[in-house]
């Protein structure tokens, strides 16, 4: 996060275990922003980097996640994006960033 006075603040948030869940990734990005945005100055630039990415595990969980509806939703979103492109369906909060 770069402020208009030239100060740069860098923060990171790790997700354990690794995930491909869009909702968890948005939550981690939001937490990193809250950690970095501590000054009452105008922001010049915000950069988000996602590294150490992994493919979803083929291994089934021993105790299945209770929220299977959310997992099915994410799978459906991924299928739509694969077929029609990454910008074919987005979350409302990210729609303004697409040009």
Residue 71 lies in a domain: yes
Residue 40 lies in a domain: yes
In this structure, the answer to whether residues 79 and 97 fall within a common structural domain is yes
Specify the pLDDT at position 60. 61
Q: How many domains does the chain have?
A: 2
The pTM of the full predicted model, rounded to 2 decimals, is: 0.65
Specify the pLDDT at position 67. 66
In this structure, the answer to whether residues 44 and 72 fall within a common structural domain is no
In this structure, the answer to whether residues 49 and 71 fall within a common structural domain is no
- Three-class DSSP labels, the chain: CEECCCCECCCCCCCCCCCCCHHHHHHHHHHHHHHHCCCCCCEEECCCCCCCCCCCCCCCCCCCCCCHHHHHHHHHHHHHHHHHCCCCCCCHHHHHHCC
Specify the pLDDT at position 37. 93
- Where is pLDDT greater, at 25 or 93? 25
Contacts of 22 (CB under 8 A, 6+ apart): 74, 77, 91
Give tens-digit pLDDT for 19-70. 778 888 889 999 999 999 999 999 999 999 888 777 766 666 666 656 678 8
Residue 72 lies in a domain: yes
What band does 17 get if pLDDT is binned at 50, 70 and 90? confident
Joined together, the tokens standing for residue 57 give 């595990």
Specify the pLDDT at position 89. 84
Specify the pLDDT at position 21. 80
In this structure, the answer to whether residues 6 and 32 fall within a common structural domain is yes
Residue 58 lies in a domain: no
Residue 91 lies in a domain: yes
In this structure, the answer to whether residues 32 and 75 fall within a common structural domain is no
In this structure, the answer to whether residues 14 and 46 fall within a common structural domain is yes
Range of the domain at 96: 63-99
- Where is pLDDT greater, at 78 or 57? 78
């Amino acid at each position: 996060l770069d402020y208009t006075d030239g100060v740069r603040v860098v923060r990171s948030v790790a997700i354990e275990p690794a995930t491909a869940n869009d909702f968890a990734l948005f939550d981690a990005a939001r937490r990193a922003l809250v950690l970095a945005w501590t000054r009452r100055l105008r922001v010049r630039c915000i950069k988000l980097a996602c590294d150490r990415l992994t493919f979803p595990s083929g291994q089934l969980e021993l105790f299945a996640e209770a929220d299977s509806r959310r997992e099915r939703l994410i799978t459906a979103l991924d299928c739509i994006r694969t077929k029609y492109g990454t910008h074919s369906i987005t979350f409302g909060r990210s729609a303004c960033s697409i040009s």
